[in-house]
Structure 1
Amino acid sequence: MNAAPPRYADLYPALAHCSPHPDAPGSGIAPIQVPAGTELFSENAPCRGFPLVLEGEVKVSRHSGDGRSLELYRVVPGELCLVSSACLFRSQPLSASGVATRPSTLLLIPPPVFNQWLEAPAFRNEVLGLFAERMADLTGLIDAVAFRKLDQRLAAALLGRGQDIGITHQQLADELGTVREIVTRLLRRFEREGWVELAREHIHIIDSAALRTMAAALQA
Structure 2
Amino acid sequence: MNRAARALLERLFPTGLEHLRARVEEVRLPAGQTVFRRGDPCRNYLLVVQGSVRVQVLAANGREITLYRVRDGQSCVITTACLISVEAYPAEGVTEVETDALVVPQPVFEQALGSSAEFRRFVFANQGQRLGDLIRRVEDVVFGRIDVRLARLLMTLSEQGVRPIATTHQQLASELGSAREVISRQLKQFAGRGWVGLGRGVIEVKMPAALDELARQSD
Corresponding residue of 1:37: 32
1:74 maps to which of 61, 69, 74: 69
Once the 2 structures are TM-superposed, how far is the Cα of residue 21 of structure 1 from its aligned partner?
A: 3.6
Report if aligned partners of 2:173, 2:180 keep a CA contact under 8 Å in 1. Answer: yes
**In the alignment, does 2:210 pair up with 1:215?**
no
**In the alignment, what sits opposite 1:185?**
185
Q: TM-score, normalised by structure 1?
A: 0.89
| 1:89 partner amino acid | I
Aligned residue in 2 for 1:124: 120
Aligned equivalents of 1:147, 1:112: Cα separation in 2: 40
Q: How many residues align?
A: 212
Instruction: For structure 1, list consecutive stretches of 5 or more residues without a partner in the other structure.
Output: none
Instruction: Provide the alpha-carbon RMSD of the alignment.
Output: 1.8
The residue identity in structure 2 corresponding to 1:102 is V
Task: Give, in whole Å, the separation in 2 of the partners of 1:34 and 1:5.
Answer: 14
Question: Are the equivalent residues in 1 in contact too, given 2:169–2:180 (CA < 8 A)?
Answer: yes
Equivalent position amino acid for 2:139 in 1: D
1:48-67 aligned at under 5 Å gives the runs 48-67=43-62
Gaps of 5+ in 2: none
Structure 2: distance between partners of 1:52 and 1:130: 11
Give, in whole Å, the separation in 1 of the partners of 2:20 and 2:73.
16
Other structure's SS at 1:86 match: helix
Three-state SS of the structure 1 residue aligned to 2:88 is coil
Structure 1 Cα separation of the partners of residues 135 and 47 of structure 2? 24
Q: Secondary structure at the match of 2:67?
A: strand
* Residue 107, structure 1, aligned to residue 102, structure 2: yes
CA distance in 2, matches of 1:53, 1:16: 19
Q: How does 1:81-92 map to 2 (within 5 A)?
A: 81-92=76-87
- 1:6-31 per-residue CA deviation (whole Å, 9 max, x = no partner) reads 42354452232645343x2xx2x332
After TM superposition, the structure 1 stretch with the greater mean CA deviation from structure 2, 9-18 or 184-193, is: 9-18
Matched residue type, 2:31: A
1:149-164 alignment to 2 at 5 Å?
A: 149-162=145-158, 163-164=163-164
